[in-house]
Amino acid sequence: MEMMKGMNYMKKKIGFIGLGIMGKPMSKNLIKAGHDLYVYDIVKTAVDEVAASGANACESILEVTKNCDTIITMLPNSPQVKEVVMGIGGIIENAVKGTLVVDMSSIAPLASKECEAALKETGMRMIDAPVSGGEPKAIDGTLSIMCGGEQADFDEAKPLFEIMGGSSVLTGDIGSGNMTKLANQIIVAVNIAAMGEALTLAVKAGVKPELVFNAIRGGLAGSTVLDAKVPMVLERNFRPGFKIDLHIKDLKNVVETANELKSPIFLTTQVLQMMQVLSNDGEGGNDHGGIARFYEKLANIEIS
């Protein structure tokens, strides 16, 4: 019988902390592959849902750490990761020497380095492994996973990445994964903004945006971003695969990192401001394809 995607011959006990939009389907894919999951989240209903799929529900981080030698975290931002790793009742307080912490959150690279240094002092290991692809790719297990850390630790985690993702690449030392994710988020955000600007112009000129999309998608202007987001905008579907507010968080991490490195980010700051306007208008919970709405409002048109 053909072995399931990414499954080891030996069942592995894995801790999973953070069961939000992304963490929930990622954890369920690990369960489907046959691994024994111990899950924790501050939202009990999320824990109950994943437990209904076969996970072991935990009431504390301690309960996760005492059962697992690999712990995956999937949390909103740097403060939450630092709290789970270094805070009261966190992973370090309940440290088991040799444990591998795989942080798949999208956070500031310097925060990854800070967490890794603290874990190392207790004999634990860490890699940062943020993802790209949003909820749809988390559900079907085809995320792009960008990793930073030691080669041996990456190799150890790779069978798990093969379950949750379509690709996983070690990009350098700790923090490199999140630096790569920031680069990814710049390109995605600017692509969506350019899409909105271009299709708004087409509508103002009386050209159907769907025909523009079909004409350009096979050429140099075509991209995975266009293929994913144009149909959603045309259908007026802004149900979040990745929320505008979460993309704002990522671009703020870009700004913080760029300021520290003295690197210019003209386009990023402009798109960040567009997103913040939309968030202030109550659209922060919409899919980031809704950046196109910024142009629609200014031009008083609808891309449809």
H-assigned helices in the chain: 23-32, 44-52, 61-65, 78-86, 109-121, 134-140, 151-164, 176-204, 209-216, 224-234, 244-261, 266-278, 292-299
pLDDT at 98: 95
Residue 131 CA to chain centroid, in angstroms?
A: 4
Q: What is the rounded distance in angstroms from the CA atom of residue 300 to the CA atom of residue 153? A: 52
Q: Let me know if 97 is a catalytic residue.
A: no
Q: What is the rounded distance in angstroms from the CA atom of residue 114 to the CA atom of residue 108? A: 10
CATH architecture, domain defined by 13-173: 3-Layer(aba) Sandwich (3.40)
Q: What pTM did the predictor assign? A: 0.88
What are the beta bridge partners of residue 146? Answer: 169
Q: What is the rounded distance in angstroms from the CA atom of residue 213 to the CA atom of residue 199? A: 8
pLDDT at 3: 43
Query: What is the Rg, in whole angstroms, of the alpha carbon atoms belonging to the chain?
Result: 20
Note the pLDDT tens digit of each residue in 146-201.
999 999 999 999 999 999 999 999 999 999 999 999 999 999 999 999 999 999 99
pLDDT at 6: 47
Task: Sketch the domain layout of the chain as residue ranges.
Answer: 13-173, 179-299
pLDDT at 227: 96
pLDDT at 5: 52
Return mean pLDDT, the chain: 95
Q: What is the rounded distance in angstroms from the CA atom of residue 154 to the CA atom of residue 202? A: 46
> Is the CATH code 1.10.645.10 the one for domain 179-299?
no
pLDDT at 2: 36
**Residues 122, 136: contact at Cβ < 8 Å?**
no
For the chain, which residues score pLDDT lower than 70?
1-11
Q: What is the rounded distance in angstroms from the CA atom of residue 282 to the CA atom of residue 126? A: 37
SS3 state of residue 262: coil
Catalytic residue among 28, 181, 229, 243: 181
Q: What is the rounded distance in angstroms from the CA atom of residue 174 to the CA atom of residue 117? A: 10
